[in-house]
Amino acid sequence: MEGVAEVVPQVTFGFIISGLLVGALFGFILQKGRFCMNSAFRDTIFIKDFTMFHAYLIALVVMIIGSNLLNDVEIIHLKAQSFYPLANIIGGYIFGLGIVLAGGCGSGIIYRMGEGQMASWVAVLGFFLGIGMTTNGVLKPVYDAMRSIQVGPPSMTLPGLIGDSLMIKWIVIAVLSVVLCAFTLKSKPFSIRKSKGFYWSVTSVLVGLAGILTFWASEYWGSPGFARGLNFTTPTSEVFFTLLTGDARSKFFPMFSLGPFQVTWAAFYIIGVPFGAAISAKILKEFIWKTPRDAKELLTVLGGSLMMGFGAATAGGCNVGQALTGATTLSIGSIVASISIILGNWTMVYFKFIKPMQDMDE
């Protein structure tokens, strides 16, 4: 490590503070808006409520338009993921199964730490263990095998299937934006009503703006030349590896020296999320230390979060990393992974909630 440390830049005050503040802001928005993509996907088939799913779609549209505008004027530089069909489909599906068992998606379990929910603390630990075993441990051969199969050129995107031009990209963005926004009108996004937290459509716009801000901040402070954006998979592993070994072990993003430690910007962003959520929870008087009901619930959460870690690492990101940040780049791999996450979520919701209710009615 001595040779590497000589060329690793030192962190600055802005590096640390920007990461913490952006993370805290996002955590505040997530908690006050009750934004969790596990709930967004689950509610569509469990209680036939599309409100939070519509919030996700608006946030995605905001991020797609805003981030691609900044990319085209070279304020940020987006990079689409490649398409690994086995990894994106199987990993995404397993992640979708896991978030139902764990009681929250990647962002959900981390912001709920700030509400005092001890089950989420366990879920975050299991999430890291699943990631670590997949990228550095006993499951790495499975991870390598799934990601050894790539289809198409690197960074294959939806507009790229039609043609490689700026006009085609913006035609695709325009069509997608109109279709997705039209779909959300059923939940009346403009009929903003007073509520304890943010109204759902306000939350969606704030999440989208926070995503754009994170793209800029992650590039400006942490990854020059590449906007890393919102994600919860790799940053979570970077936090834990830093705590356990002093080295974030980032394979894809620049590391910086903080004394004897090698850290990333996203590690500070992840640390900030539960703090921002805790501030919101205190304001709304929703902060309370809450423990799991019994050992069975605890084991279910742990098992689900281990599945989340394996699935997210294999698929190349969690729900936020793929269904928001990745989908913003219009990556085919990210779109496929996002669909797989939703299908996995629906499968587990059916077997965990819907089928038992049906059996009781018979």
pLDDT of residue 4: 41
Check residue 81 and report its DSSP letter.
P
Burial of 340 (0-12, 13-18, 19+ CB in 10 A): buried
**SS3 of residue 83 by DSSP:** strand
pLDDT of residue 193: 80
Give the chain's domain count: 1
Alpha-carbon gap, residue 281 to 15, rounded angstroms: 26
Q: How far is CA 22 from CA 212, 266, 269, 276, 279, in A?
A: 11, 10, 6, 9, 14
Strands 256-258 and 261-263: antiparallel
pLDDT digits (tens, 9 = 90+) for 200-255: 999 999 999 999 999 999 999 988 888 999 999 999 999 999 999 999 999 888 89
Q: Pick the residue with more confidence: 6 or 335? A: 335
Q: What percent of the chain has pLDDT over 70?
A: 98
Mean pLDDT of the chain: 94
**SS3 of residue 163 by DSSP:** coil
Residue 16: which H helix or E strand, with range?
helix 13-33
pLDDT of residue 5: 41
pLDDT of residue 2: 42
pLDDT digits (tens, 9 = 90+) for 150-173: 999 999 999 999 988 999 999 999
Q: 115: Cβ–Cβ under 8 A, 6 or more apart, which residues?
A: 31, 277, 278, 281, 286, 287, 288, 290
Q: What percent of the chain has pLDDT over 90?
A: 89
Task: Give the residue from 257, 218, 233, 244 showing the smallest Cα distance to 308.
Answer: 233
pLDDT of residue 71: 97
Please give the average per-residue pLDDT across 117-132, as a whole number: 96
Q: Give the structural domain span for 20.
A: 2-361
Please give the average per-residue pLDDT across 334-339, as a whole number: 98
HSE-up of residue 97 (Cα within 13 Å, Cβ side): 14
pLDDT of residue 237: 96
Checking if the pLDDT of 329 tops 50, the result is: yes
pLDDT digits (tens, 9 = 90+) for 191-200: 888 888 999 9
Please give the average per-residue pLDDT across 101-122, as a whole number: 96
pLDDT of residue 336: 98
pLDDT of residue 7: 65
pLDDT digits (tens, 9 = 90+) for 285-294: 999 999 988 8
pLDDT digits (tens, 9 = 90+) for 59-111: 999 999 999 999 999 999 999 999 999 999 999 999 999 999 999 999 999 99
